[in-house]
Amino acid sequence: MSTFVFFGASGDLVAKKLLPAMNRLLKDGSLPSDTKIIGVSRKSWSDDDFREVVLRHAPDIVPASVSFVSGDVHDVVLPERLAKALSGQQSIFYLALSSTLYVGALSCIAETIKRGDMPDGSVRIAIEKPFGRNTDEAAELDDAIDRTVGEANVFRVDHYIQKESVQNILAYRFSNELFGGVWNERATARIEVFLHEAHTINGRGEFYDATGALNDVVQNHLLQMLAAATMDNPGQFSAARIHDARKDIFSRLRVAPHGLLRAQYEGYRETPGVAEGSETETFARIECFIDHPIWKDIPIILEAGKGLPERKSGVRMYLKQSGARICFDEQCDHEDVFEFLLAPEERTTLTVWGKKPGLVNALMPHSLTFSFSDVADAPYVDRSYDRVLYDLWRNDPSRFVSREESLAAWAFVDAARAALNATPLVMYEQSTLPHVIS
């Protein structure tokens, strides 16, 4: 029997992502029906109060399998209370908390393990992003892990790794000969990785103001999408090989001296929780290169922001124009593109030159599309958090971030932060896309 212990049980992540994911996993039998859920938070809730929350977001979960433990992570009585509440063979602690509480939570879990006399291998700890705010803080958290629960039990979460379309990039690249010939510097013109969101930061002012676009999504989600598109073939799908292949890309990333943009949407500073005169970026654009023989000199553009015209995220590989194309008349400026979209829908489109219909001897772009929603049995839902929880339960670390990967990603982001901070903060109107002024 397994127990999921959600720290931060009264927060948004538990309500909006983790509970609905638990609901689906239990409903479709991916998790055993005797799985238990314990919520932990500072709120002085009863079991029934938490069950009400669960009922709202996970209506199929049996209330008797849910309980609540109240306490602050620094509270000396919390480990005792938790140890008493835990009875299964396997405990999965999930830190859905502010990262400022991680060190306290890790000590609390270590103490709970001791008090509950939990055997080695029976405990997993999932830690949400952002994992610190820079290399130094990430290294401090790593030290805290070593002092408390041990690295072998830790799973650093980035739900973008678990997105269907990110895994699909690996499937396309490593399961089709077709791609081997073009997935390199000879055929690739540039790569774009983007996470555009139309919504603003409403309701998350304090968190976002201390975080910014670079730390919130570039250090993790964008770099993970980029890694899927550029990492070497790991040879086998083992956690160690995949972690190494991704780390290798991160440690070869170099910020380009151009194409940088740090911007903030107008009205951001009026959001509750945001500091007066805040310089936090709600949009970041970074150009970079990968010091790797396969990607040498290929521009990589990373772009993420909120308050933009539309929600769109994914990876686009633009191919160089083929010298051999039979372009008889107009339209010779079209580029072939491989697009792996995560939002607004999980869809892969290959746009290539094709025959223009009719009597003309000419070309036009043809789009070959596969959409995950077209093959779904029911209305399509993003199940990335389902896979996070499922992989935790089955103890598969390959789609989590390793310590070395995380540090390599931070080293790049520290350099990107320094380069971005040397540029002026540009203001943009909400629902518009800010542009680099050259």
Task: Kindly tell me which residue out of 15, 198, 327, 343 binds ligand BG6, with binding defined by CB under 6 A.
Answer: 343
The sign one gets for the Cα dihedral 170, 176, 181, 182 is: negative
Question: Where in 188-207 is the site for ligand BG6 (CB under 6 A)?
Answer: 197
Torsional class of 212: left (φ above 0), alpha (ψ -120 to 50), beta (otherwise): left
How far is 376 from 149, CA to CA, in rounded Å?
A: 39
Cis bond before residue 59 (omega within 30° of 0): no
- Nearest 5°: the CA angle 65, 68, 69 is 135
Residue 14, interface with ligand BG6 (CB under 6 A)? no
Residue 386, interface with ligand BG6 (CB under 6 A)? no
Q: How many residues bind ligand BG6 (CB under 6 A)?
A: 5
DSSP assignment string, 293-357: TTTTT--EEEEEESS-SS-EEEEEEEEPPPTT----SS-TT---EEEEEEESS-EEEEEEEEEPS
Question: Where in 312-341 is the site for ligand BG6 (CB under 6 A)?
Answer: 313
Residue 413, interface with ligand BG6 (CB under 6 A)? no
Nearest distance in Å: CB 383, ligand BG6: 11
Nearer to ligand BG6, 108 or 222 (CB): 222
Phi then psi dihedrals of residue 313, to 5 deg: -140, 150
Token pair in block for residue 253:
């990333």
Residue 303, interface with ligand BG6 (CB under 6 A)? no
Torsional class of 251: left (φ above 0), alpha (ψ -120 to 50), beta (otherwise): alpha
Residue 281, interface with ligand BG6 (CB under 6 A)? no
Query: What is the number of the residue whose Cβ is closest to ligand BG6?
Result: 216
Residue 216, interface with ligand BG6 (CB under 6 A)? yes
Nearest distance in Å: CB 297, ligand BG6: 31
Residue 182, interface with ligand BG6 (CB under 6 A)? no
Task: Kindly tell me which residue out of 217, 222, 288, 363 binds ligand BG6, with binding defined by CB under 6 A.
Answer: 217
Nearest distance in Å: CB 20, ligand BG6: 12
Place of tokens 């990335």: 384
Nearest distance in Å: CB 99, ligand BG6: 11
Q: Which residues are near ligand BG6 by CB under 6 A?
A: 197, 216-217, 313, 343
